[in-house]
Structure formats: structure tokens, C-alpha cells
Structure 1
Amino acid sequence: MNLSGKVAIVTGVSSGIGRATAEALLTRGAAVAGWGRHAPEGLDHDRFQFFECDVRDEHAVAEAFTNTQRELGLEIHVLVNNAGLGVFGPIDGFKSEDWHAMFDTNVNGLFYCTRAVLPQMKKQHAGHIINVASLAATAGTANLAGYCATKYAVRGFSDALFKELRPDGIKVTCVMPGSVETNFNGAQPGQQPDPHKMQPEDIAAAIVHALEAPDATMVSEIQMRPANVK
């Protein structure tokens, strides 16, 4: 897909992978609708518009989609389901509200956003959905059971979705990064880039790579790991 002039929705746009992806798409000439609970500070671009949206609320998602089409036009070419939440800890001490918050964001929110864009993408017989999962979708890890469960769900959803939407001309890619330097789980990125972690821009570049693949090619999954090991 040539991204110039295309319209992309990016969820979880306020920071980290979401913000980096929005910036990468803008560089490629796309118009970007950024959805999130907070606007990204300092992201001022004539092709970027922020729409306040908590993806856990299906009514908020529907409203954000309506507002996006009103402001940027009916055609939606890209959806990047990036909004995510991770709470770690042993299961026998895990709070139910944290469990539900992860599923509501990582799984239910992704479903609401995907469902919102599909009628228009089917009408166009074109579109690309990027679901940001994690390497936690490939192997379980102690004290990450709840998070792994959500990301396994995202990977399974993505795999089924690409098979469902293939006849409609819609591509689906599941991106599974390993360690990325963001403020995920409350950790603040360091002043100096951690050489043992990938940067949000690295993940954004992989997303753009998948989007710009030739029309006859679908990159269904991408696994990413830091090149430098501790």
C-alpha cells in the first residue's frame, strides 16, 4: 500500500509505540486519527487529529469512529490496534479488577475497534488491520499469566481474522514485539536508550514495512526481538 493520502487510525496514540507509529505514518504522507485517553504532547501536524477515546467503552469507540469519518472522510485504509495494558504478578494475589482491565483493553477494545472499521473496509474491498500483540503471545512467563492470556487471545483473533477477511481484500498483521523501551507497566524510559531493548520507532518501522508490502503479499505475523542480548 502506498500510504500517501491514506487515512489511518492508531489507538493508544499518546506515547510509546502508538505515538511512534503515528509519526511514521505521517512521514509517509498518511492522515492519522489518533485515538486515546490523552492527547500526545507536542504532536502538532496538519494531517494529525486526536480523538479522545477509551477503547474499553464500545460506545466511545463508535463515537470516535463517527467523528473520524466526519473529519477525515469516509474511507479508512489502516487500523493499528495498539492500545494495551500490562499488570504483572502471581495469580493467587492478582486483583480481579486488574485482570478485567487487561482483557477490557487488550482484547475487548481491539474487538470494538476492529468491528467499527470493517463495514467501511469491506465496502472499499481494501484495508489493513495491524494488531499489536507481544512475544507473550508465543510462550507463557511466570507472573505474566494474565497478560499472556490477553496476548494469546490477540494472536488467535488475528489468525482467524485474516482468514475471514482475505476474500474481502483486507489484510491483517499481528505484530509481536519483545522488550521495548516504553513506560509500559509504569516504568519510565531511561535518558539513554537501553541497548538491550528495542525502541518504539523500531516497532513503528516494522508496522510501516507490513503496510507497504506489495498488494499481492500479506505479512500475517511479525516477531521482533532485541538484537543485543544481555
Structure 2
Amino acid sequence: MNLEGKLAVVTGVSKGIGLATVQSLLDKGAKVAGWGRTAPELQHDSFHFFECDVRYNESVQRAFDQTISHLGTHVNILVNNAGLGVAGLLEDISLDDWHTMFETNVNGIFYCTRLVIPGMKELGEGHIINISSIAGTTGIEQMAGYCGTKHAVRGISHSLYKEVRDYGVKVTCIYPGSVQTNFFDNIESVTVNENMMRPEDIASTIMHALESHPNYHHIDIEVRPLMPKGKRQK
């Protein structure tokens, strides 16, 4: 897809992968609608922020309506990036934390995606990027709730691409390993460090998938830091 002039919606844009993706899309000439609870520190003529909490369908619908009203076109690209994780033994996770993870990571993707699909089908072109995690392909101790949500993202992505592929619409699921973001702020067992991937690395992978030939479809992309514990000394 040629990204020049295309309309992209990115969720969770305040920082990290979401913000890096917005910046990369703007560099490619796209118009970007950023949906999130907090606006990023970004000023650009082609960037428009719309307050949105993806946990709530009403909030997503309002952001979508505002996006179409202000930018007056179909959405060509959706990057479902908003997400969070809470660590803890299964029996210790609070009901509130459990529900918040599923409402954000799973329900949020449903609420956002269902609104853009009709327009993409009408255009005969579109690309939905779902940010999962390596937690979406394996189990991680004390991350059962988070892993459950990211496994769900994988299942949704695999089912959806089979529903929309014949309309020229792509669905790509990306499974990052550890990234230098605020995701780990509330996870005491992990400290962000320079051996993790950078948000702009994930954004570059998203750009690669988006700019591929119309008949070339990235379904699953797993990315990890090459040396997560640093370079081994001789």
C-alpha cells in the first residue's frame, strides 16, 4: 500500500509503540487519527487526536464518528495497539484487573475493528494491524490473564483475515518480545533496559507490512531482541 494520503487510526498513542507508529506513518505522508486516553506530545498538521477509551464501545463509536466527520474519508489502516498487562498468580489477580485486561486488550479490538471493516470492504483495500505479544503464543508464569488476552488477539486475527481477505483487506498480527515501553512500570520483576527492542523497531515492522504488495500478506510476525541479556563476553 502506498501510504501517502491514506487515513490511519492508531490506538494507544500517548507513548511507546503507538506514538512511534504514528510518527512513522506521518513520515510516510499518511493522515493519522490517534485514539487514546491521553494525548501525545506531538504537533503535526496531519495528526489529529481524539480522546478514546477502547474499553467502552460508546467511547470508540464517538472517536470513530469524530474521525470520519473531521477527516471525511474511509479508514484505510487500523493499528490496534492499546493494551496493558497485570502480573500476579491467577488466584491473586483482582477481578477489576482481570476485567480491565480483557476489556482493553480483547473487547477494544472488537469495538474498533468492527467499525472500519465495512469501509475497507467498500474501498477494496485496507490493513488491520493487531499488536499481540509473545505472550500470545506461549504461557508465562504469573501472566495468565495477560496471556489469555493475547492468545485471544491471535485467534481473532486468524479468523478475521479469512473473513476479509477476498475483499482485498489484510489482517496482520505482530508478536513482540520485550520492548522499551511503560508496559513494565507495574511489573516489579522486569526492569526496562537497553537490551530490549525499541518502539521504533516495532513501528518499522508495521511499516514493512503496510507497504507490501497488495497480494502479499503478512499474517503472523514474531519479533524479539537478538541479545535480551546483552552481548556475551568471551
TM-score range, shorter chain: over 0.9
AA in 1 matched with 2:149: T
Shift of residue 187, structure 1, vs aligned partner: 5.6
Equivalent-residue separation in structure 1 for 2:72 and 2:4 (angstroms): 15
Question: Does residue 176 of structure 1 match 2:175?
Answer: yes
Match of 1:50 in 2: 49
Shift of residue 52, structure 1, vs aligned partner: 0.2
1:125-144 equivalence runs, <5 A: 125-144=124-143
Question: Does residue 38 of structure 1 match 2:38?
Answer: yes
Match of 1:202 in 2: 201
Match of 2:4 in 1: 4
Match of 2:25 in 1: 25
SS in structure 2 opposite 1:141?
A: coil
Shift of residue 26, structure 1, vs aligned partner: 0.2
Q: Give the TM-score, by structure 1 length.
A: 0.95
Shift of residue 30, structure 1, vs aligned partner: 0.2
AA in 2 matched with 1:37: R
SS in structure 1 opposite 2:145?
A: helix
Whether the 8 Å contact between 1:195 and 1:228 is mirrored in structure 2 is: no
Equivalent-residue separation in structure 1 for 2:64 and 2:218 (angstroms): 26
Question: Does residue 13 of structure 1 match 2:13?
Answer: yes
Paired residues in the alignment total 225
Equivalent-residue separation in structure 1 for 2:60 and 2:154 (angstroms): 21
Equivalent-residue separation in structure 1 for 2:108 and 2:228 (angstroms): 33
Whether the 8 Å contact between 2:136 and 2:147 is mirrored in structure 1 is: yes
| Deviation by residue 1:22-52 (Cα, 9 ceiling, x = unmatched) | 00000000000000000002x0000000000
Whether the 8 Å contact between 1:87 and 1:185 is mirrored in structure 2 is: no
Shift of residue 202, structure 1, vs aligned partner: 0.3
Equivalent-residue separation in structure 1 for 2:209 and 2:15 (angstroms): 21
1:52-71 equivalence runs, <5 A: 52-71=51-70
Match of 1:90 in 2: 89
Whether the 8 Å contact between 1:35 and 1:51 is mirrored in structure 2 is: yes
SS in structure 1 opposite 2:194?
A: coil
Residue segments in structure 1 that go unaligned for 5+ positions in a row: none
| Deviation by residue 1:112-170 (Cα, 9 ceiling, x = unmatched) | 00001111111111100000000001110110100000000000100011011111110
Shift of residue 185, structure 1, vs aligned partner: 3.7
Q: Give the TM-score, by structure 2 length.
A: 0.94
SS in structure 2 opposite 1:44?
A: coil
Whether the 8 Å contact between 2:20 and 2:203 is mirrored in structure 1 is: yes
Identity, in percent, stands at 56
Whether the 8 Å contact between 1:37 and 1:54 is mirrored in structure 2 is: yes
1:109-148 equivalence runs, <5 A: 109-148=108-147
Shift of residue 176, structure 1, vs aligned partner: 0.6
AA in 2 matched with 1:39: A
Residue segments in structure 2 that go unaligned for 5+ positions in a row: 230-234
| Cα RMSD after superposing both structures | 1.2
